[in-house]
């Protein structure tokens, strides 16, 4: 409703300017006055007009105020210095706002625009870790916001199956064995004394396997190990352990690098189907675990696009030919583009001396495909990718492709010792979620001794995962995050405080035995009652949800929604603490306010991928 009201105010200002026969400005800025006594909405349009009219903004503001026609919801317009300030008639406004809130509240009208949004896209050489999680949370939350704003959004995960890191994993499959000591009782599907002895028995039952070369036979044993003995959600962890082993081998034997490079060359040529099988199985094993991690984090993708596709379908070759024929390339052992004329000193290599492509070449092909499929292309990337994106964007211009909009983010760190029970080189997202849920269980049991373990765990899952997502989404992406558990899981300041407001609203409504505001005569109720300040403030915040969705989508910034959630929870809690609901003379109206708050809290949290518990 606030969105509609600001549009009406802009139209009224436009009409007033036309009446005065002044030239319309390019923009009519809308803002909120610093104090409630100065109005609810203000415009500084007088500054926009001052230069052309050669008059002071104060004079312009006064003249506009004297002739403006107020929208029906506005009770007064006054000139305050250079500003036009508008005062809302909340008796009328409350009726419109509360009647506009339904189950899909916040959903904007469809826009004829397709957006291809790529996010997460972690290398498949181990589990997602804390360095990836901001990408996933920002990308998924932005996707939800854009869809709510009416855009057609296709979310994609770019699978790097041709990179050096996955070739190292495949080398490990072919030449090493998994460290079975890393298996825990929770991760073993079929516990035995020695998994590889049981695999030997399986191999002996299939004589055809003996025809395989030794390294391929070793690879098969490792694939069977993953499929038989390791739960799906931990296969990415096992791949990560193998990758670590290969790194250790490379440190002690430089010649192994040539073997890894040869695997990449053969895989790119595509003339060894069995090697292709091992690449595919290694990637899929990792993606199985990654997929389950993302599911728990409530992150979704519409499609997983494999990098090798662009080599196999000829897209990479076509790009190289286009750039060569256009005279853009140079050659000095490798094929490259010099971008010095565009202010970039570092050249972009397109092809190695052995004829294999690079990530950048395949990424060009991928971006061209996204350009064809979408009106807008959005990438979520770490700030360390800024140079690469500049290079890619310039070359996409040569190829008539769309340059992506890029949301760069800084990384997340944990204070030293905050997860001292988790040992390792990095902290996985699985570890982070486990820690969050464990901490949430402890907090819940301190507050609710009436809950059994199952109920406490169900609520803790929502609080723990929600805390992670909210803590990440609440800050602008260019700001570095130090993840602090006491802040993230705070019932007073963190996501739990917002979830608690929703649970509180649900509890009030449950006590009524099933309140239904569908047939309520709000107009009649409001005509006989003067709204109090906490009620007005709550109505004001509820009314801004659609506007917040639109602004967040337009600016591609999800932290606006995070702030909106906190503002709404704060307004609801102030209302709850100062305005009795059940048993009051205004019970029906206030129950309607509780119900509309519940819906808006749920819908706003949903945009951040956070559950809204009905009980805490």
Identify the weakest region by mean pLDDT among 16-25, 183-192, 479-488, 554-563: 183-192
* pLDDT range class, residue 495, cuts 50, 70, 90: very high
Task: Average the pLDDT over 47-51 and give the result.
Answer: 93
pLDDT at 549: 98
Which element (helix H / strand E) includes 397?
Answer: helix 386-398
Q: How many angstroms separate the CA atoms of 196 and 205, rounded?
A: 14
Task: Average the pLDDT over 113-117 and give the result.
Answer: 98
pLDDT at 189: 57
Which residues does 463 contact at the CB level (< 8 Å), separation at least 6? 437, 440, 443, 444, 489, 495, 496, 499, 613, 616
Chain segment 168-211, per-residue pLDDT in tens: 999 999 999 998 876 655 455 555 568 898 899 999 999 888 88
pLDDT at 421: 33
pLDDT of 420 > 60? The answer is no
pLDDT at 241: 92
Gyration radius of the chain over CA positions: 30
Chain segment 577-587, per-residue pLDDT in tens: 999 999 999 99
Phi-psi category of 513—alpha, beta or left, where left has phi over 0 and alpha has psi -120 to 50?
A: left
Distances (CA, A) of 340 to 242, 343, 344, 346: 41, 5, 5, 8
Domain boundaries, the chain: 2-88, 114-155+309-413, 164-304, 430-607
Please report, in angstroms and rounded to a whole number, the separation of the first and last CA atoms in the chain: 31
Taking residue 262's Cβ as centre, other Cβ atoms within 10 Å add up to 13
Q: How many angstroms separate the CA atoms of 550 and 541, rounded?
A: 15
pLDDT at 475: 94
* pLDDT range class, residue 412, cuts 50, 70, 90: confident
Task: Average the pLDDT over 323-347 and give the result.
Answer: 93
Largest CA distance in the chain: 95
Task: Average the pLDDT over 462-490 and give the result.
Answer: 92
Contact between 583 and 612 under an 8 Å Cβ cutoff? The reply is no
Distances (CA, A) of 329 to 316, 319, 349, 394, 477: 14, 11, 9, 13, 35
- Indicate the class that CATH gives domain 430-607: mainly alpha
Average pLDDT, the chain: 93
Q: Coil, strand or helix: which one is 338?
A: coil
In this structure, the strands spanning 405-409 and 376-382 are parallel
Q: Coil, strand or helix: which one is 191?
A: coil
* pLDDT range class, residue 422, cuts 50, 70, 90: very low
pLDDT of 348 > 90? The answer is yes
Quickly list DSSP for 473-528.
Answer: HTS-TTS-EE--HHHHT-TTTSHHHHHHHHHHHHHHHHHTTS---TT--HHHHHHT
Contact between 572 and 505 under an 8 Å Cβ cutoff? The reply is yes
User: Is the CATH code 3.30.1360.70 the one for domain 2-88?
Assistant: yes
pLDDT at 184: 56
Q: How many angstroms separate the CA atoms of 395 and 604, rounded?
A: 39
Which residues does 336 contact at the CB level (< 8 Å), separation at least 6? 329, 330, 347, 348, 349, 350
Chain segment 119-165, per-residue pLDDT in tens: 999 999 999 998 899 999 999 999 999 999 999 999 999 999 999 99
Question: What pTM value is reported for the model?
Answer: 0.93
* pLDDT range class, residue 65, cuts 50, 70, 90: very high
Q: Identify the CA nearest to 553 among candidates 378, 382, 385, 396.
A: 378
Contact between 397 and 326 under an 8 Å Cβ cutoff? The reply is no
User: Which two tokens mark 349?
Assistant: 């290599």
User: Which two tokens mark 249?
Assistant: 């081998």
487 against 184, higher pLDDT: 487
User: Which backbone phi and psi does 254 adopt, to 5 degrees?
Assistant: -65, -25
Task: Average the pLDDT over 546-555 and give the result.
Answer: 97
- Angle at which helices 164-175 and 214-229 pack, to 10 degrees? 100
Three-class secondary structure assignment of 53-98: HCCCHHHHHHHHHHHCCCCCCEEEEEEECCEEEEEECHHHHHHHHH
Q: Coil, strand or helix: which one is 381?
A: strand
C-alpha 557: how far from its chain's center? 10
- Angle at which helices 90-100 and 533-543 pack, to 10 degrees? 50
Q: Identify the CA nearest to 352 among candidates 212, 164, 105.
A: 164
pLDDT of 396 > 80? The answer is yes
Quickly list DSSP for 244-300.
Answer: HHHHHHHHH-TTHHHHHHHHHHHHHHT--HHHHHHHHHHHHHHHHHHHHHHHHTT--
Which residues does 315 contact at the CB level (< 8 Å), separation at least 6? 309, 365, 368, 369
* pLDDT range class, residue 419, cuts 50, 70, 90: very low
Q: How many angstroms separate the CA atoms of 232 and 290, rounded?
A: 9
Count Cα atoms within 13 angstroms, Cβ side, for 499.
29
Three-class secondary structure assignment of 530-559: CCCHHHHHHHHHHHCHHHHHHHHHHHCCCH
Contact between 19 and 67 under an 8 Å Cβ cutoff? The reply is yes
C-alpha 314: how far from its chain's center? 32
Task: Average the pLDDT over 42-49 and give the result.
Answer: 95
| H helix runs in 297-385, sequence order | 309-312, 315-325, 359-373
Taking residue 550's Cβ as centre, other Cβ atoms within 10 Å add up to 18
Task: Average the pLDDT over 285-294 and give the result.
Answer: 97
User: Is the CATH code 3.30.360.10 the one for domain 114-155+309-413?
Assistant: no
| DSSP bridge pairs for 332 | 334
pLDDT of 436 > 90? The answer is yes
User: Which two tokens mark 365?
Assistant: 């092909």
Contact between 566 and 501 under an 8 Å Cβ cutoff? The reply is no
Chain segment 250-268, per-residue pLDDT in tens: 999 988 999 999 999 999 9
Burial category of 541 from C-beta neighbours within 10 Å (exposed 0-12, middle 13-18, buried 19 and up): buried
Q: How many angstroms separate the CA atoms of 10 and 14, rounded?
A: 6
Q: How many angstroms separate the CA atoms of 157 and 117, rounded?
A: 9
């Amino acid at each position: 409703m606030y969105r509609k009201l600001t549009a009406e105010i802009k139209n009224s200002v436009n009409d007033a300017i036309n009446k005065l026969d002044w030239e319309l400005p390019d923009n009519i800025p809308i803002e909120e006055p610093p104090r409630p006594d100065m109005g609810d909405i203000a415009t500084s349009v007088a500054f926009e007009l001052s230069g052309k009219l050669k008059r002071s903004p104060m004079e312009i503001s006064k003249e506009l105020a004297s002739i403006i026609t107020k929208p029906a919801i506005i009770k007064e317009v006054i000139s305050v210095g250079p500003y036009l300030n508008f005062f809302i008639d909340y008796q009328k406004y409350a009726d419109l706002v509360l009647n506009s809130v339904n189950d899909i509240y916040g959903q904007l009208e469809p826009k004829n625009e397709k957006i291809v949004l790529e996010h997460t896209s972690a290398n498949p050489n181990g589990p997602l870790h804390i360095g990836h999680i901001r990408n996933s949370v920002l990308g998924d939350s932005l996707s939800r916001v854009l869809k709510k704003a009416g855009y057609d959004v296709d979310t994609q995960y770019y699978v790097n199956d041709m990179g050096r890191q996955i070739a190292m994993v495949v080398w490990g499959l072919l030449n090493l064995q998994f460290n079975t000591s890393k298996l825990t009782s929770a991760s073993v599907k079929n516990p035995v004394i020695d998994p590889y002895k049981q695999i030997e028995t399986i191999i002996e039952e299939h004589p055809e396997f003996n025809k395989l070369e030794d390294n391929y036979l070793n690879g098969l044993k490792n694939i069977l190990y993953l499929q038989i003995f390791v739960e799906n959600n931990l296969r990415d962890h096992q791949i990560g352990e193998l990758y670590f082993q290969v790194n250790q081998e490379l440190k002690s034997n430089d010649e192994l690098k040539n073997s890894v490079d040869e695997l990449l060359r053969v895989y790119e040529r595509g003339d060894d189907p069995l090697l292709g099988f091992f690449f595919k199985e290694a990637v899929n094993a990792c993606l199985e675990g990654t997929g389950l991690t993302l599911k728990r984090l409530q992150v979704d993708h519409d499609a997983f696009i494999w990098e090798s596709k662009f080599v196999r379908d000829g897209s990479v070759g076509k790009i190289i030919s286009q750039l060569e024929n256009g005279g853009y390339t140079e050659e000095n052992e490798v094929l490259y583009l010099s971008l010095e004329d565009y202010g970039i000193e570092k050249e972009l290599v397109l092809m190695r001396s052995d004829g294999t492509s690079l990530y950048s070449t395949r990424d060009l092909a991928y971006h061209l495909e996204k350009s064809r499929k979408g009106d807008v292309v959005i990438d979520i990337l770490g700030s360390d990718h800024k140079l690469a994106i500049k290079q890619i964007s310039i070359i996409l211009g040569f190829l008539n492709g769309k340059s992506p909009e890029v949301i760069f983010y800084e990384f997340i760190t944990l204070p030293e010792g905050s997860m001292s029970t988790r040992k390792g080189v990095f902290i996985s997202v699985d570890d982070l979620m486990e820690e969050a849920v464990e901490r949430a269980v402890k907090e819940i049991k301190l507050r609710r001794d009436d809950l059994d373990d199952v109920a406490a765990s169900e609520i803790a899952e929502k609080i723990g995962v929600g805390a992670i997502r909210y803590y990440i989404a609440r800050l602008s992406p260019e700001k570095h995050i130090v993840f602090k558990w006491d802040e993230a899981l705070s019932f007073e300041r963190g996501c739990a405080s917002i979830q608690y407001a929703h649970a509180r609203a649900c509890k009030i409504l449950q006590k009524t035995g099933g309140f239904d505001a569908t047939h309520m005569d709000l107009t009649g109720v409001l005509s006989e009652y003067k709204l109090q300040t906490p009620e007005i403030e709550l109505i004001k915040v509820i009314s801004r949800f659609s506007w917040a969705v639109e602004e967040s989508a337009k600016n591609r910034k999800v932290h606006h929604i995070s702030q909106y959630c906190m503002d709404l929870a704060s307004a609801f809690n102030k209302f709850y603490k100062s305005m009795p609901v059940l048993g009051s003379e205004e019970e029906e109206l206030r129950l309607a306010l509780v119900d509309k708050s519940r819906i808006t809290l749920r819908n706003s949290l949903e945009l951040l991928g956070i559950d809204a518990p009905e009980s805490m």
